[in-house]
Amino acid sequence: MCDKHGLGSSGGPNVGELLSGAPSNWGRWGPADEVGSLNFLTNLEVLRGVRSVRQGKVFTCGEVIGNPLGDPLWPGRAPAKRETMIDKDSYVRGDIPSLPGGAEFTDDRIEMFLQGSTQFDALGHVWYDDQLWNGFPASDTNGGLKNASILPISERGVVGRGVLLDMAAYKGKAFLEKGDLIHLDDLLGCAERQRVTIEKHDILCLRLGFLQLLRVQGPDLFYKDFLEPGLTYSPELVDWFHKMEIPCLATDTISNETELDPAIGVQIPLHCALMRNLGVTFNEVCNFETLNKDCHADGQWDFLYAAAPLKVTEATGAPVNVLAIK
């Protein structure tokens, strides 16, 4: 299978040809803009999100980093490695002295892929035709993202009204499986069934449950012939995102879309159509299981969504722990 970091060679159409004439937000907020559709999240939109807080319930939607049961990772990425650098034994061995007054401390470090956990993509993460979001040249990625990195998103933050759609339940399953596709009609049908209205500028959160199968199946079976379920490209879907001015797409999968729909033959077309062209931010590898269970119990599917990825200079993405407050 092709790697997520390039479109690869599938024998299908060129992504530029596929998206010829597709809607674009380039220049909408000026030639230097690096946060794209997050511009829709004005102060009034934040307050609209706050009005979704009716019960005071707080949910964290980040996966555990360095989970002993395995991190959900794109194949080819290594799991996070946390290492203890100083502990009680360090003092017992005499490696370091106690602090003046007798206090001691522990310290550790972590080595990980910045997109190896619940995270946000930078708008410059994916491109085609040698141009990133807003027309920045692809050469801006050399040695680190000079434009459209994660830092402007981190400094701005992502806050607004979130809506969770349980796509697995809509399809009559506990978890979506490899190859299961989600179309625009599925999004609208799921919202109607849940009796929640998707409004302009909503942060769209999709629960597929697929990554939870890693714990059930184990990594060997889970990653065999790996193909995530998820949204699949259509002009109608892209036009809907454009019309609804969706600022952020959040899912509990690694790619927020099915990577290679056989009917299209282009890998990650929604990264190109939504992120690269419309400036929609992608929040990936969320864990919506606890939030989803509570939404089924009380029937409230909207909430205040709040997130800010780590501030990492020139990075293509960064970890985040999303808050959903009902």
Q: DSSP letters along 38-105, please?
A: GGG--HHHHHHHHTT--S--EEE-BPPTT-TT-----TTPPPPEEEEEE-HHHHHHTSSPPPTTS---
Residue 201 counted as domain residue: yes
Residue 123 counted as domain residue: yes
Q: Which domain-ending residue is among 61, 94, 110?
A: 110
pLDDT band of residue 6 (cuts 50, 70, 90) is very low
Per-residue pLDDT, averaged over 317-326, amounts to 98
Residue 193 counted as domain residue: yes
Residue 5 counted as domain residue: no
- What is Dmax (Cα atoms) for the chain? 69
Number of helices (H), then strands (E), in the chain: 12, 13
Asked if residue 62 lies in contact with residue 321, where contact means CB atoms within 8 angstroms, the answer is: yes
This prediction's pTM: 0.94
Residue 7 counted as domain residue: no
Q: Are residues 104 and 199 in the same domain?
A: no
User: Could you tell me which residue, 6 or 229, shows the higher pLDDT?
Assistant: 229
Radius of gyration of the chain (CA): 21
User: Residue 101 is part of which domain span?
Assistant: 81-110
Q: Are residues 97 and 207 in the same domain?
A: no
Asked if residue 266 lies in contact with residue 18, where contact means CB atoms within 8 angstroms, the answer is: yes
Q: Are residues 288 and 200 in the same domain?
A: yes
User: Could you tell me which residue, 313 or 225, shows the higher pLDDT?
Assistant: 313
Residue 163 counted as domain residue: yes
Give every CB contact of residue 113 below 8 A, 6+ residues apart in sequence: 73, 77, 78, 80
Q: Are residues 216 and 105 in the same domain?
A: no
Residue 1 counted as domain residue: no
Structural domain count of the chain:
2
Q: Are residues 68 and 101 in the same domain?
A: no
Q: Are residues 118 and 106 in the same domain?
A: no
Q: Are residues 90 and 195 in the same domain?
A: no
Q: Are residues 101 and 128 in the same domain?
A: no
Q: Are residues 188 and 131 in the same domain?
A: yes
User: Could you tell me which residue, 231 or 68, shows the higher pLDDT?
Assistant: 231
In this prediction, residue 4 carries a pLDDT of 39
Q: Are residues 65 and 134 in the same domain?
A: yes
Q: Look at residue 71 and tell me whether its pLDDT is greater than 70.
A: yes
Rounded distance, CA 273 to CA 26, Å?
12
Q: Are residues 96 and 170 in the same domain?
A: no
Q: Are residues 158 and 193 in the same domain?
A: yes
In this prediction, residue 261 carries a pLDDT of 76
In this prediction, residue 7 carries a pLDDT of 34
Q: Look at residue 304 and tell me whether its pLDDT is greater than 90.
A: yes
Pull the structure tokens for residue 199.
Answer: 């409004």
Q: What is the CATH number of the domain that holds 257?
A: 3.50.30.50
Q: What is the pLDDT of residues 188-233, one digit of tens each?
A: 999 999 999 999 999 999 999 999 998 888 888 888 888 999 999 9
Residue 89 counted as domain residue: yes
